[in-house]
Amino acid sequence: MSMPRTTGAVTGRFHIDDLVLEVSKSVDRRRWNETHYEAFIDELCGAREYQKDAIRAALRFLLGGEYKTLRELAQANFDKNQVLREKYGTFANMEKKLQLPDFMSASLDLATGTGKSYVMYGIAAIMLAEGAVDRVLVLGPSTTIEEGLTKKFEELASDTDLRDLLPPTAVISTPKIINADESIVPGSICIENYHAVLAHVRSSIRDSLVGKGDRTLVLNDEAHHIANETGTAAGKWKEFLTDPEFGFHRIIGVSGTCYIKDEYFSDVINRYSLRQAMEEHFVKKVRYVAEMPASNLPTEEKWQLITNHHEEIRKVVKAQNIRPLTIVVTRNITACEDVAEEFRHYLSENLELTDPEIEEKVLVVHSKSPDLIQLSTVDNPSSRVEWIFSVSMLNEGWDVSRVFQIVPHEKRAFESKLLISQVLGRGLRIPEGWKGQPEVTVFNHDRWSEDIKHLVSEVMDFDKRIPTFPVSSSNFNFELVNVKYEPKPYFEQVIPRAAPYKLFEKGYVDMATEQGVQEVRIEFEDAATRTRSEWRTRVEHKTYSPEEVAQVMYQRLEDLPEEDSKFYTNQFGVAELEKVVRLSMEKAKNKVITESMRQKFLSALGTLQRKTTQMVRYDFTPTEYPTILTLERPQESASASELKATKTLFLTSETAASIPVKVHIIL
């Protein structure tokens, strides 16, 4: 008697490359003959073969006639690709992941810094030349991208050498590059940010394209926004693409971060990975902090580490006549302003820079910042900006080649594959004329290194993933009524403090021996090769005199409630406290008092602040009773490194029976 299948199945491991959909190369040349455009593509892309491959894949899909929709392409690949069957289980599961299954829609995954604009222009120009479409609409998520693409497209469209390599039969050989302030007429390529397509925005796009979608190609730059920002203003971007009023059918998305959070896109037809780009020297190498014993350094001393490394970079890039740029990433506008102000104070106090010098070196960039207008000029040789404080990772499409250090001030800036790809992407471009392959350092907190490592491993294609999915035919699928609760805190039992605490019974405070200067060793890990390198620097600790520390301790005693304050200040005046400090230094053989030692003295007074003890309890009140179906459980996957570190795989005997033998070996 056979055992019934379970509600979940586990399948074999896969690399991201295994998920790329293959577009058939068996194309009827009477329908589409790509050889007519090889000279044009060669001139456009030069030695960048990966760009040529991306252009060819997109055109075979759009013009080859093999497929009528993305769904057909996905079905053909599912039928012949064992990895896709193992990942999704059924085509129905895969179909749920397709963004636009009823369209001739697909994505191109090209690592940031590898020239996506050349690929988009090549596809647009050839589709117009072939007469397959009359118009091309290029959409991006920001005005920064719009401006960059417009400049590049105008440059390429006016290149007579490039234009002359189009076949003599070209229907349109000189496309007109416009923005949405003009009507989108036949033969034009309109470049805009997606805000111009919103229903309440006055632009030429909606009026020009009503009913003309069948003869329009839509190219979406940074297409991950369409998938990741549903329910927001960016979610309207997808609504525009699918609006039957326009009738679009041919849609190609381009991105260097083809992830919905940690899940890879299901409609990618060509991929040039970050790892490939690094190995082939088309972008900078990337390294990040793997080990940093000084993780408990005070804030000011952490700035020392970062500025010391910035100065090390300056020595390297000086020969190239380049000024180094460091980007500090924060979680929101308030944090961005606060951290930047903290850094300005550090520069003033420790490096003795004047306010005008600090002003020209430091930019604060967010949606409400007056510095935002300067962002486009940062890569100019005349710019003296060396530090940018930013919310998130600045705008995609911000092409600056002199970024050599990125500091995620918050872990949330580096906690998903999408974010890691974006963080790395901002520093990948190689300065023009650079000899060799430069390096960008992500100066993350060392406590994040293990969490980061497995995500970077997946982004860099080191790890394979093990997927699970629901099995519709299982006899064990069920409905479950879930309960959502709202916690309500309350305080319980106030415990009075015992008799007055006896301070400094030994007459001193125990502490470790510290020097005024500390040598710090940091290990960096190369994201592509996983090799490690060591960097050493020295940090000067801020020091205090015994008198200064005694004064602060006495002030803490004065801040106690009146009765306690009198009790302790009568015992410990400033002179008595200074004796405690000096004896503590003598016992630990310390000649100076560092910030950590100062905090040790103050923490010795900490128990005096606790007048009473309160216990916080919670009542949980049921608020909702949603029904959960096992059949609707989302597909999940885990990498090998995650299974070693943070995730666990549970197997029943029935599940184990459905697992391929090769997975048994792995597990």
- Confidence band of 87 (pLDDT split at 50, 70, 90): confident
Q: How high is the pLDDT of residue 549?
A: 95
> Largest alpha-carbon pair distance within the chain?
101
The model carries a pTM of 0.73
Q: How high is the pLDDT of residue 620?
A: 80
- Which residues, at least 6 apart from 330, have a Cβ–Cβ distance to it below 8 Å? 336, 339, 389, 390, 391, 409, 410, 413
Structure tokens at 577: 């406290």
Q: How high is the pLDDT of residue 257?
A: 82
Q: Which of 586, 405, 428 is nearest to 508 (CA)?
A: 586
* Choice between 253 and 657, residue whose per-residue pLDDT is larger: 253
- Order of strands across the sheet that contains 465-470: 8-10, 465-470, 636-639
* Choice between 401 and 527, residue whose per-residue pLDDT is larger: 401
pLDDT reading at 191 higher than 70: yes
Count other C-beta atoms under 10 Å from residue 25's C-beta. 11
Q: Where does 34-272 sit in CATH, by number?
A: 3.40.50.300
How many angstroms separate the CA atoms of 100 and 97, rounded? 9
Q: How high is the pLDDT of residue 10?
A: 44
Q: Where in the chain is the domain with CATH 3.40.50.300?
A: 34-272, 281-467
- Confidence band of 327 (pLDDT split at 50, 70, 90): very high
Q: Where does 281-467 sit in CATH, by number?
A: 3.40.50.300
Instruction: Please name the amino acid found at residue 578.
Output: E
Give the strand pairing for 285-291 and 387-391.
Answer: unpaired
pLDDT reading at 181 higher than 80: yes
pLDDT reading at 89 higher than 60: yes
Grouping H, G, I as helix, E, B as strand and the rest as coil, residue 637 is strand
Q: How high is the pLDDT of residue 613?
A: 55
Share of the chain above pLDDT 70, in %: 80
How many angstroms separate the CA atoms of 422 and 222, rounded? 10
* Choice between 188 and 227, residue whose per-residue pLDDT is larger: 188
Q: How high is the pLDDT of residue 665?
A: 37
Q: What is the average pLDDT value for the chain, to the nearest integer? A: 84
DSSP state of 372: G
* Choice between 149 and 530, residue whose per-residue pLDDT is larger: 149
Q: How high is the pLDDT of residue 666?
A: 41
* Choice between 267 and 378, residue whose per-residue pLDDT is larger: 267
How many angstroms separate the CA atoms of 447 and 596, rounded? 19
Structure tokens at 54: 């991306």
Q: How high is the pLDDT of residue 662?
A: 46
State the DSSP string of 407-440: EESSGGGGSSHHHHHHHHHTT-PPPTT--S--EE
